[in-house]
A and B are shown apart, each in its own frame.
Chain A
């Protein structure tokens, strides 16, 4: 069974750093793109970027380029999303997701809620 299990909810202050994780299981982690999707409170879905764990090829949405870093450690089948300096506007639910061969998301993680507040 394909599963993507994300790390737990985080409460941070503005300016702090953060790294959240997404562990894949039940499939060949290095053979599928993993994406990160943001959903701000009461809002829609936004693509942040994708990574191919097999060779760490990474693509970012222009809106998120330079704002976050996406990485993966294929030895432990885990992808990461990190911030060096959080802002209140980063408060959102973040989903990791697996892309199928056609580029559609076929599996989603359960989401990680990030709250940034002073």
Chain B
């Protein structure tokens, strides 16, 4: 069982917006602004999409945005495109370990 809880799957049609949640506790997501999101296409290495809750690395589309409220972080993808179909993982700093923790991952399907 992962330390952070994500929905197993979400789906949306091209052009729509979707949101993926990542729920933790006050010891991780809720207590620190160190939440990141990774995109992984099948057979590929993950890619950093959002870091420190809401920051986008250079080169990542501004259709991707991150936010946090209480113990839940969210990744929103607007203007959904076929190429966004992938697995998405959240990660957070946690006070209970020297290592970050991952969520279980969410499979995004673009209908």
Contacts and interface: CB of A to CB of B under 8 A. Distances in A.
B46 A44 contact: no
Which of the four size classes fits the interface of chain B?
20 to 34
Interface residues of A, number: 21
B51 A100 contact: yes
Contacts, number: 56
B46 A108 contact: yes
A50 B9 CA distance: 30
- For the residues of B in contact with A, the DSSP-based class is loop
Interface in A86-104: 95, 100, 102-104
A9 interface: no
A110 B47 CA distance: 11
A103 B34 contact: yes
Contacts of A28: none
B2 A44 contact: yes
Interface in B70-99: 89, 91, 93, 97-99
B51 A102 contact: yes
Interface of B: 2, 34, 36, 38, 45-48, 51-52, 57, 89, 91, 93, 97-105
Given A95-B46, A103-B93, 16 more contacts: A44-B102, A45-B89, A45-B102, A45-B105, A50-B99, A61-B97, A61-B99, A62-B97, A100-B51, A102-B34, A103-B100, A104-B91, A105-B36, A105-B38, A105-B48, A108-B45
